[in-house]
Structure 1
């Protein structure tokens, strides 16, 4: 289903009329039915994974890594001695969350909480899309596109983080302090939700949102620092990360392997990274590109002259796309973030990002092809594995460039 087809499903009747109420019920029932069906398929893949869909058991991250962190965090210590702990301290709340459902196993409770966050995103997008002048396309995109990543979203905590970012953006216009607080909490869980405030309208909205974000993040950090030791230990692990094979730089080096580059692949910091000549140079180049992306975003913010109701949504998607394509690491679950932000964009009829959302659909499908279906080829650097990564990364680059161009031109009006 394309974004244009999704948008065509919107009801055009007047709010409050009998026809509108009936259309709303049909929409709610259809969305719920599709959500339930697709999520059951995702759970079925998780319960009985096909051999090609479960490299090294995708769910092992929750079973082994998250559960191991849970035990350490429950004792009041951040896992400082674990190089795979690379997350801001707020992530501890997500890892500890399954403990609130003691009648379930840790894995079962994690799934329940992830599905609850997924459903919350769908509900928030649906409610936003039913307002006058808005679109239900965003809700359909989220519900229909997330399964393109197969069962991976269920066993990573990125759905929970995306929920915070989506709610922050949807609240930003009417309740800037609430949107800012949610973005601040999200930033303390996985940093990138802070970018949702980049496009906040100038003036009181921006001030209220950023002040609330800073206050919420500071309050949560203070609580975590009081309750845990080594709260900021994750910074050391982040600084030591190299070039992951699925990143843009990793794709360049993988193509180099086909041409005789002598580097190898090693499991480091919880991911498959490339080691050998030029890796350090490309890692530093990625950091410079990230800095350049941040500079471009600042220039856009300063020079923007026209704000529409969709500008905060569009700016958030453009910003996260830029930071994704310039990163040393592009894990498959990053697509969860992008799909969530694209869905928020499509709740507004004023958005400029419909073509970008359309590009993210095949990007998500090819990402699932790269991991887990053809992951052995990607790791080995075979021609097939390299081709898959080239296609996926070209789609992301095209989406990022198109997103930035449309954001820039849309904000230059009188």
Structure 2
């Protein structure tokens, strides 16, 4: 490659990065504007922002006195969530709400920068950064009033650091899992052998050490497990969609606010909840079987496996809140940084589901709660896209790592290494 070609590529890369930066600034300004006008009926009538200035702020008061909100049925999060909810204290000159939103924007920017930095390397792509920058605003202002952006930052950075540092990968995955359990799934696709051992050991050590510190500093660190077990079927879940349609067939169930969400109550709800748990167990078994049978790793396999795992656990969950889409957007964006990913069609489905999620909440949430035909059709479309994405993701992941998929080794490069494993390798 001559000097002129390199100069042209460098100039084009800088222009793309500047375009991404401009897009981030513009879209985040719009999201902030929407948050400032949260009282509008189509923007949630104040319910989106209320999560921070009421619920999170109340928990902050309890946490600041050295205890988790053990007797609050809405507290259903691992101990690491307490550290995130206490973090606005780092900005004493602002109100709790202002500091929380500012820190959420900082985490959002960190994800965008990490994706852009990796995507700008030779052999990688900026498409992942573009998906994150353009995809997150599809959820309107909801991401700024939830702490799922911070959790997603841990998962994204964990995956992006894997090629250079298995220790960092394990540490970030563990820290994310302490806040919301799902980031532990990003370690599912680590290449077998030394890479897996190192990442998993560092995750275990970090998780155990951090948990010990939190248990020492705060009272009642594990009471969230009791509250989590009592959850029912949220109206936005796959099971909730089935129950919503059942109301039109004469089912007498009702929608009620409990455990921090709108959930169904009535006959057979517990059966649907147990079925969701059973499907989650089946999903875990399928992922474990994939791990045991996979024989071919590419640089994108850890990314693809992480997205597939979180998709399966999301779709089979009793709760599919709009903010769950933040997780999927982040993981799909990581996949798109690699030219070897097999998840591009899945990323497109995730984007479509994300757009529908914003229509369901906050725009037409009243229709969803009332189980009108419009609300039912909306949730059927959103959850149908997620279910299709989950199935397609697992199928494409499975096919990309099976022995029959072996092909002549590609040209060596920073993103063109294929790991082929002997049949007797362990998990």
1:165-213 alpha-carbon deviations (Å, 9 max, x no partner): 0000001121111101100111111000000000000000000000000
Task: Name the count of aligned residue pairs.
Answer: 403
Residue 59 of structure 1: SS of its match in structure 2? helix
Residue 15 of structure 1: CA displacement? 11
Deviations 1:246-272 (A, max 9, x none): 000000000000111000011000000
CA distance in structure 1 between the aligned counterparts of 2:64 and 2:139, rounded to whole angstroms: 31
Query: SS state of the match for residue 273, structure 1?
Result: strand
* Residue of structure 2 equivalent to 1:135: 125
TM-score (norm 1): 0.96
Equivalent residue in structure 1 for 2:7, among 18, 38, 62: 18
- Give 1:234-245 correspondences, 5 Å limit: 234-245=224-235
Task: Verify the 8 A CA contact 2:37 2:43 in the aligned structure 1.
Answer: no
Aligned counterparts of 1:299 and 1:40: Cα–Cα separation in 2: 45
User: Of the candidates 294, 301, 312, which is equivalent to residue 302 of structure 2?
Assistant: 312
Deviations 1:291-340 (A, max 9, x none): 00000000000000110000000000000000000000001100000000
Give the structure 1 partner of residue 28 of structure 2.
Answer: 39
What pairs with 1:367-378 in structure 2 (closer than 5 Å)? 367-378=357-368
1:170-209 to structure 2, matched below 5 A, reads 170-209=160-199
Q: Deviation string for 1:38-58 (max 9, x for gaps)?
A: 000000001123321124431
Which of 89, 99, 102 aligns to 1:99? It is: 89
3-state SS in 2 of match to 1:193? helix
Structure 1 residue 73 corresponds to structure 2 residue 63: yes
Does residue 363 of structure 1 match 2:353? yes
Distance in 2 of aligned mates of 1:332 and 1:248: 13
Deviation at 1:23, TM superposition (A): 1.9
Is 1:226 aligned to residue 226 of structure 2?
no
2:269 matched to 1:279? yes
CA distance in structure 2 between the aligned counterparts of 1:284 and 1:13, rounded to whole angstroms: 63
Determine if the alignment matches structure 1 residue 112 to structure 2 residue 105.
no
Gaps of 5+ in 1: 1-11
Q: Distance in 2 between matches of 1:183 and 1:15?
A: 42
Shift of 1:14: 8.7
Residue 64 (structure 1) aligned with residue 36 (structure 2):
no
For the residue of structure 1 that corresponds to 2:264, the secondary structure is strand
Q: Distance in 2 between matches of 1:13 and 1:266?
A: 67
User: Which runs of 5 or more structure 2 residues have no equivalent in the other structure?
Assistant: 407-427
Q: Which residue of 1 aligns with 2:139?
A: 149
Distance in structure 2 (CA, Å) of the matches to 1:113 and 1:16: 40
Q: SS state of the match for residue 47, structure 2? A: coil
- CA distance in 2 between partners of 1:133 and 1:21 (Å): 14
CA contact (8 A) 1:370 1:385 kept: yes
Native 8 Å contact 1:15 1:132 kept in 2: no
Measured after TM superposition, the shift of residue 18 of structure 1 is 2.2
For the pair 1:29 / 2:25, whether they are aligned, the reply is no
Q: Deviation of residue 223 (structure 1)?
A: 0.8
Q: Is the 8 A contact 1:13 1:19 kept in 2?
A: no
Please give the root-mean-square deviation of Cα atoms over the aligned residues, in Å. Answer: 1.4
> Which of these residues, 83, 86, 97, is aligned with residue 76 of structure 2?
86
Q: Alpha-carbon deviation of 1:219? A: 1.0
Q: 2:296 is paired with a residue of what secondary structure? A: coil
Selected match of 1:212 from 202, 214, 226 = 202
SS across alignment from 1:266: strand
TM-score normalised over the length of structure 2: 0.93
- 1:9 — aligned with what? none
